[in-house]
Structure 1
Amino acid sequence: MDESRTKTGFYYGWIVILITFVTLLVSAGIRSMPSILMLPFEKEYGWNRGSISSVVSTGIFLYGLIGPFSAAMLEKFGIRKVMVISMAVLAVSLSVTPFMTALWQFELLWGVVAGLGSGMLANVLGVTVANHWFVKRKGLVVGMLTASAATGQLLFLPMLAQITVSVGWRYSVYTAVAALIVLLVVVAIWMRNDPYDIGAAPYGSESPVKPVFFTGSLFLAPLQALREGMASKTFWLLAGTFFFCGFSTNGLIGTHLIPACGDFGIAEVMAAGLLALMGLFDLLGTTLSGWLSDRFDSRWLLFWYYGLRGLSLLFLPYALAAGPTELLIFSVFYGLDWIATVPPTVKLAANEFGRAKSGMIFGWVVVAHQLGASAAAYGAGAMRDFFGSYTVPFVTAGFVCLFAALMAVRIAKIGAAVRQSHAAQ
């Protein structure tokens, strides 16, 4: 009997997807916490915004850099084991944070340890789980898992901001640790690595497929994948557009929207609510993007996503100065395509490089994303200190998104024969 299905015929892979969704949700919520800690740290420790932003920048960079190696570790050691270890490391790092007294300790705990720990629980995890458990509806699944990052902000930021304002930032950190511990137990008990482990076939396939055991080097295999990717024009275009994606999302808006609102007298809790609203609409937009990527040319989807995001960022400085109604319009419009770029980017990478290598290749594309995010996280803070406002970084991000839209349509449309060959892998 197929153990993957309950008596009602429910596919166990959906439970795996739910656990992965919640894991990515919690990880994303934790990664977004520096945006609500920036102002309290300025007041308590006297650190300027540029210094705090440099720590966030380091964390974002390492969060992305670990991606390709995370893909290799997930294949070699198993998804469940890697998830448990990563959450344990992240919980320890957060638990020590309330006792720090110097900037270098913040850099170590949040820039290095939390950056690497949360990077193991990022988009590459979602892509790996989708590749193992689904053949059909993979685009939809990737969209759902990608949207969990936005949902993390939806659930966590307003609550953590309220805790920070009411009883102090340390209690918001303890809340995040408690969520991690509960989730660690859930993963240890119910998570499964592959449908073959329970005698199941991937969704959309007729029979169980024994997974190929990863025999490559954890260090060399990702580098070999990078070398192969660098020989492809598609890789450079995907990496380039994703650099601008990171530059305009978690590095800029995710890190600096709350302090930017503070410059206009908007309370932290209200500003966190704006990010949460973006998260709600991105949950809808990114899930829809996954559905669309199963049906339409991903290159043109990226063109529209980047173009519309660029226009929304050009509107943001006006919205901040104008008032709540304009900010609400920005939050809805921008939120719909916050990370809607991921499902079509994943599909284009899989089409070009095949299922076996798409995880590591996409991991390197995510590195480019995080390089862009890291540059924006530090650069926007430094420019805010220099110019006294965030107008220049917001407008700059708007124009680079418009440029990314043009880059997207330059990606070659892969031929049907090559696509069928990769699908058979």
Structure 2
Amino acid sequence: MTPNTNTPSRYRWVIVAVAAAILAIAMGQLVNGLSAFFAPLEQEFGWGRGEIAFINTAGLIGISLGGVVMGFVADRLNIRLVVLLGASVTALCMIAASQATTLWQLYAIFFAAGALGGGALFAPLFALVGGWFRTGAGLAIGIVAAGQAIGQGGIPFANAVLIDALGWRAALLALGVFSLVALVPLALLVRKPEPAATFAGRPSTEPAPNVPLPRVVVVMSAAVLCCCSLMSVPLMHLVPLIQGCGVPAPEAGSVVFAMMITAIFGRVAFGRLADMIGAVPAYLAASAWQTALVFFFTQIDDLSLFYLFAPIYGFGYAGVMTGVLTTIRVLTPADRRASATGIILAFAWAGHGLGGYLGGLFFDLTGTYELTFAVAVVAGIVNLALVASLFLMDTKGRRRGPALLVPAQG
């Protein structure tokens, strides 16, 4: 009996779970896991916060460059080998970082962790998840992004607890060993879509893009550069901002954890919203949310208010990454999706690194975080203008039907 190639494979949900777990562990370390290390590194070495923040920036530059290369590789080679490389390098670099004695060593280690670790995981895994789904991809991508949100909240919180108990070196060592034990077996479960999940050409539920691919890449790259510059400011600097109000590190880290818990629901909700109203409108809504609220962090000096406000901000901010990923999926052809994703996300990670670094630099110059968060608002406004222009380009370019405005059914 001939198998029904129109029936989606159940293994697609295994891929979603595996991708979510891998990104939770790896990206939780590389995106904002360093936030808990500001105070101990500052105390032990006397480095400025701008210098410490650049450790994270070096990792994000690595992700941006490595993501471009690994996106092209993942389109052409065995995806499992690519993910295995990323998993192993991420873990081993955390172990190496625990033995670092100079600033340049941490810069080099985190750059390598980003280029060969995160770069081999982020864009390839999200492109892989999109390839397993003909309908409902927004929800699937939202779930994977939610897994990453768990890591971005849980890893800094775990780091703060480990540092408080063991010191920063032992905390990094424990994180690296745990990552090696957890990530490698998960990577072995990764595989390309089965024949039932593939299709010749683009199906009716995934209309042909209405905007030329080079234009999509240019506009999206500029938008995510600004968007992620804003996003990185609270991710990297909320813990030290709260500590500056006299709050101990574990409690400050728990605020970020609370924010990222609501981000789990926000990423799933905005993924579902993208399936309902379209990718770009959902992206616009989430971007407007984080832009409108981010500056208010600097107006709070009470721990209970941080606990109240951070989850409200986190729910909407979380939808931004989901919006970026669902928009890329809708606007790019499947056979060029991993490479296009890698290029666009290179600018996203560059924005993360730029925002985090400038946040520390502005603090060193002014002694407060108000300028840092004000500049983040400006970056958010520019992002909104660029995303709106993309929406208008899609509307004007429709010939086969509104790819962004009519959600996929099923």
Where do 1:44-83 residues align within 5 Å? Answer: 44-83=44-83
Q: Distance in 1 between the 2:328 and 2:273 partners?
A: 16
Q: Distance in 1 between the 2:71 and 2:355 partners?
A: 25
Q: Distance in 2 between the 1:2 and 1:269 partners?
A: 58
Where do 1:113-262 residues align within 5 Å? Answer: 113-187=112-186, 189-196=188-195, 201-202=196-197, 229-230=213-214, 232=215, 234-250=216-232, 252-262=233-243
Q: Distance in 2 between the 1:150 and 1:2 partners?
A: 41
Q: Is the 8 A contact 1:150 1:278 kept in 2?
A: no
Q: Is the 8 A contact 2:91 2:176 kept in 1?
A: yes
Shift of 1:416: 5.5
The change in CA–CA distance for 1:154 and 1:389 in structure 2 (over 3 A counts) is same
Where do 1:9-408 residues align within 5 Å? Answer: 11-31=10-30, 32-110=32-110, 112-187=111-186, 189-196=188-195, 201-202=196-197, 229-230=213-214, 232=215, 234-250=216-232, 252-319=233-300, 321=301, 323-408=302-387
Residue type of the alignment partner of 1:105: Q
Shift of 1:132: 2.8
Q: Is the 8 A contact 2:147 2:264 kept in 1?
A: yes
The change in CA–CA distance for 1:381 and 1:75 in structure 2 (over 3 A counts) is same
Q: Is the 8 A contact 2:71 2:340 kept in 1?
A: no
Q: Is the 8 A contact 1:80 1:187 kept in 2?
A: no
Q: Distance in 2 between the 1:330 and 1:363 partners?
A: 33
Residue type of the alignment partner of 1:396: V
Q: Distance in 2 between the 1:159 and 1:62 partners?
A: 24
Residue type of the alignment partner of 1:366: L
Q: Is the 8 A contact 2:79 2:192 kept in 1?
A: yes
* Structure 2 length-normalised TM: 0.87
Q: Distance in 2 between the 1:419 and 1:312 partners?
A: 31
CA offsets, 1:355-388, max 9 Å, x none?
2223222222212212222211111111111100
CA offsets, 1:47-92, max 9 Å, x none?
2212112222121122122222212222322221111122222222
Shift of 1:122: 4.3
Structure 2 unaligned segments of length 5 or more: list them. Answer: 202-211
Aligned to 2:208: none
Q: Distance in 2 between the 1:362 and 1:418 partners?
A: 23
Residue type of the alignment partner of 2:364: D
Name the SS of the counterpart of 2:318 in structure 1: coil
The change in CA–CA distance for 1:351 and 1:92 in structure 2 (over 3 A counts) is closer
The change in CA–CA distance for 1:347 and 1:418 in structure 2 (over 3 A counts) is farther
Name the SS of the counterpart of 1:115 in structure 2: helix
Q: Is the 8 A contact 1:100 1:106 kept in 2?
A: yes
Residue type of the alignment partner of 1:329: L
Q: Is the 8 A contact 1:130 1:141 kept in 2?
A: yes
Shift of 1:279: 1.0
Tell me whether 1:415 sits opposite 2:398 in the alignment. yes
Shift of 1:229: 4.6
Number of aligned residue pairs: give it.
387
Structure 1 unaligned segments of length 5 or more: list them. Answer: 203-207, 212-227
The change in CA–CA distance for 1:300 and 1:324 in structure 2 (over 3 A counts) is same
Q: Distance in 1 between the 2:120 and 2:307 partners?
A: 30
CA offsets, 1:9-57, max 9 Å, x none?
9812211221111000001221122111111111112222121122221
The change in CA–CA distance for 1:386 and 1:189 in structure 2 (over 3 A counts) is closer
Please report the RMSD computed on the Cα atoms of aligned residues, expressed in angstroms.
Answer: 2.6
Shift of 1:188: 5.0
Q: Distance in 2 between the 1:355 and 1:189 partners?
A: 23
* Structure 1 length-normalised TM: 0.84
Q: Is the 8 A contact 1:23 1:121 kept in 2?
A: no
Residue type of the alignment partner of 2:15: V
Q: Is the 8 A contact 2:75 2:339 kept in 1?
A: no
Q: Distance in 2 between the 1:269 and 1:69 partners?
A: 37
CA offsets, 1:296-355, max 9 Å, x none?
133332222122211211211102x3x123312321121112331233333333343322
Name the SS of the counterpart of 2:98 in structure 1: helix
Structure 1 runs of 4+ with >4 Å offset: 1-4, 208-211
Q: Distance in 2 between the 1:75 and 1:302 partners?
A: 26
Residue type of the alignment partner of 1:257: L
